[in-house]
A and B are shown apart, each in its own frame.
Chain A
Amino acid sequence: MKVVEAMRIALRALAANKLRSILTMLGIIIGVGAVIALMSIGRGVEKYVTDQFAGLGSNLLFVAPGQISDGPPTLRANPVKSLTLGDMQAIGDRSRVPHVSRVAADFQTRTTVERNGKSVTVQANATTPSYPNVRSWKTTLGAYFSELDAEERQRVVLLGADTYEELFPNGEYPIDQIVQVNGMNFRVIGVMESKGGGPGGNLDKSVFLPLTTAQDRLFKQKNPNGEYKVSVIYASIDEADNIPLAQEEIAQLMRERRGIKYLDQDDFSIISQNDLISVFGDILGALTIFLGAIAAISLLVGGIGIMNIMLVSVTERTREIGLRKAVGAKRADVLIQFLIEAMVLAAVGGIIGVTLGWGLARGVSTLFGEFQAVVGADAVIISLVVATAVGLFFGIFPAYRASRLNPIDALRYE
């Protein structure tokens, strides 16, 4: 019998029992829907985060105290020896690390910023003047502070995009306005371009001030030698190919400077964008395995549901099978008919699931707005193929049973 005929018969049989068909498909619908929704959202997030990393600045290395595996600084059991401005200068010394083209340092802490009685708590980034350059970041208004500003320990500040909006809700011109950072008057000299959230917090909710001013007047975080402490050192590497080499050289330099003995572990980390992306990739990989498990379980459950309902269907339609055999259906004809019915059941469930997952992903991305869910053709095709294969697999036993029915008994079946 032709496959087309079998499909027509299958669709008619499914349409005849709509509620039952839908309930049977539910396992497949949920499985496929969940996979499509989560995969689409996952891809959307991945793309978003990758874009964020790309926005960090190209060929950038981050040097931070402690090991990443120790967790975030606030969760560490033992205080870690901090980095200093001297470390940055050493890394920036081309005679020591020839592949570093530019360096910047950043001391990060929470602080309050006030204007006209309105107060916000933001992240203060006390940086070297080279900071925007190294991080490929521009201002929308004004300019970043200069070497001279830093040397003179000027009380100047730049606002992140969100901080600007909060402090200047009516969009007033901010340049040369006075705000209080940690209770001290600072003159606003610029507003940074919006960068969005990313690793290391939302930089739009920050203020930027000279490291020298901050450490001499505001936070006074210095090490026993009077060197300014910094949270992160950024190093721009001249060529992407040289990043591993530069990482090696910086590590060597830092071990020397921090007096780490042979065989002792580094108490600092040098992280490249690739490292961050691969950490994120690991998280995504775990998520994918988790998703796969959900999908596998619901497809298994869905498949068992299909098998169950197909067995019921074969029993219910014993007479029909008997008749088909009486008028000339061969075993293979009956087998194919019921296999196709199971596959159609699963495939229709898969299509509904894809539609549902798609809608869900679209809904979520509309809700959050920051990323766009990406429904990949590969995900759709794989889901449908897997769903259909599940239908095929779990349809084999009922279909085999149908094909083996004896027409005499089947015709007599009440």
Chain B
Amino acid sequence: MAVKNNGDNGSAPVVSLRAIKKIYQMGDVEVQALRGVDIDIYPGEMVAIMGPSGSGKSTLMNIIGCLDVPTEGWYEIDGKDVSRLKDDQLAAIRNHKIGFVFQSFNLLPRTTALANVELPLIYGGVGGRQRRKRAEEALRLVGLGDRLDHKPNELSGGQQQRVAIARALVNEPSLILADEPTGNLDTKTSIEIMELFQRLNHERGITIVFVTHNPETAEYCHRVVRVRDGLVESDITRQATAGIFANGSQAQSVNGHAAPLVQEQGI
């Protein structure tokens, strides 16, 4: 099993999965969704986890996102073992370490952008004034400084996803986990959103993991992990081929060596 680390990055991994297995009991049948996955993701990486449906990709995302725990194996996030935590402990980890971005945005309706972004801070116990300040900051960072009091139904799809990204950023998590973040957006908006991710990754060193079956999303990442049948099929680090680092003159790959994008599998 190939585990390729971000060679030139000497720091400890943000995400460290070792021999992760996830077995579901479906009636009398045992389904092995993950059959021994090892992945390390280092600070500042922008990784796409790809795979067809049924590959175990979603299960992997749930485990990385601390929404679920593995049946076997070890998972450390920022050096903390989270593989055997209880529900409420996982909730605390999600609150402090992980920012989620979903395909369908998942903003609270009838609630302002600001209030939506404040949500993780509320559960993190941050006080009102501090909360507002940080939420405003996060919204400015995603270019919505002038839309603080807009409600989701007053925002375009791209703007809604920006609010969601601001919400993911606001707790300064170790990791942003984005599940098909452009799935509900048109091409032009998708490019804007992916470039926003790239900028956040590049300028702020935020670690971002995409879970997607969309090859275009993967083109923005410098590392692509392919999952198939519950195993890591390939883990390739190369230069991003789309977005702000796409043309050669701008190339400033994090890892220093580029790899060709592997041919997509049909989904």
Interface residue ranges, A against B (CB under 8 Å): 1-2, 5, 12, 16, 319-320, 322-333, 407-408, 411
Contact = CB atoms under 8 A, between A and B. Distances in A.
B123 A324 contact: yes
Nearest to A333: B123
A322 B67 CA distance: 10
Given A323-B119, A330-B92, A408-B68, 9 more contacts: A2-B122, A16-B109, A322-B106, A325-B94, A328-B94, A330-B91, A332-B88, A407-B67, A408-B62
B67 A16 contact: no
A326 B88 contact: no
B120 interface: yes
Contact of A323 (B106, B124, B171): B106
B9 interface: no
Contact of A328 (B62, B102, B124): B124
B111 A327 contact: no
Nearest to B124: A328
Given A328-B92, A328-B94, A411-B102, A323 B123 contact: no
Contacts of B109: 16
A312 to B, nearest CB: 16
Given A407-B67, A408-B62, A411-B106, A330 B88 contact: yes
A93 to B, nearest CB: 85
A155 to B, nearest CB: 85
Contact of A1 (B68, B123, B171): B123
Contact of A408 (B67, B108, B110, B120): B67
B167 interface: yes
A329 B91 contact: yes
A327 B110 contact: no
B95 interface: yes
A2 B96 CA distance: 18
Nearest to A6: B122
B68 A324 contact: no
Contact of B100 (A16, A319, A326): A326
Nearest to A325: B91
B100 A331 contact: no
Contacts of A331: 87-88, 91
A211 B124 CA distance: 90
A327 B108 contact: no
A4 to B, nearest CB: 9
Interface string B192-230: 000000000000000000000000000000000000000
B119 A327 contact: yes
Interface in B54-88: 62, 65, 67-68, 87-88
A328 B111 contact: no
A325 B106 CA distance: 12
A333 B119 CA distance: 12
- Chain A CB within 10 Å, residue with most, of B62, B67, B88, B91: B91
Given A1-B123, A407-B67, A408-B62, A328 B108 contact: no
Contact of A12 (B65, B87, B110): B110
Given A16-B110, A407-B67, A327 B102 contact: no
Kindly name the residue among A5, A322, A325, A328 whose own CB sees the greatest number of chain B CB atoms within 10 A: A328
A325 to B, nearest CB: 6
A329 B119 CA distance: 9
18 contacts: A2-B122, A16-B109, A319-B106, A320-B108, A322-B106, A323-B102, A323-B108, A324-B119, A328-B92, A328-B95, A328-B171, A330-B87, A330-B88, A330-B92, A330-B123, A331-B91, A332-B88, A411-B106
A327 B95 contact: yes
Contacts of A325: 91, 94
Nearest to A322: B106
A262 to B, nearest CB: 81
Contacts of B123: 1, 324, 327-330, 333
A71 B171 CA distance: 80
A325 B120 CA distance: 10
A173 B109 CA distance: 79
A324 B108 CA distance: 9
Interface string B102-135: 1000101111000000011011100000000000
Nearest to A327: B120
B120 A328 contact: yes
A328 B100 contact: no
Contacts of B167: 327
A1 B122 contact: yes
B251 to A, nearest CB: 35
Contacts of B62: 408
Nearest to A15: B110
A16 to B, nearest CB: 5
A407 B108 CA distance: 15
Contacts of A16: 109-110
A326 B67 contact: yes
Nearest to B65: A326
B78 to A, nearest CB: 16
Contacts of A319: 106
A333 B120 CA distance: 12
Interface string B148-165: 000000000000000000
Contacts of A408: 62, 67-68
Contacts of A328: 91-92, 94-96, 120, 123-124, 171
Nearest to B62: A408
Contacts of B110: 12, 16
Contacts of A330: 87-88, 91-92, 123
A12 B110 CA distance: 8
Interface string B7-32: 00000000000000000000000000
A5 B122 contact: yes
8 tightest Cβ-Cβ pairs between the two chains A and B:
A328-B95, A328-B123, A327-B120, A330-B88, A323-B106, A330-B91, A329-B123, A408-B67
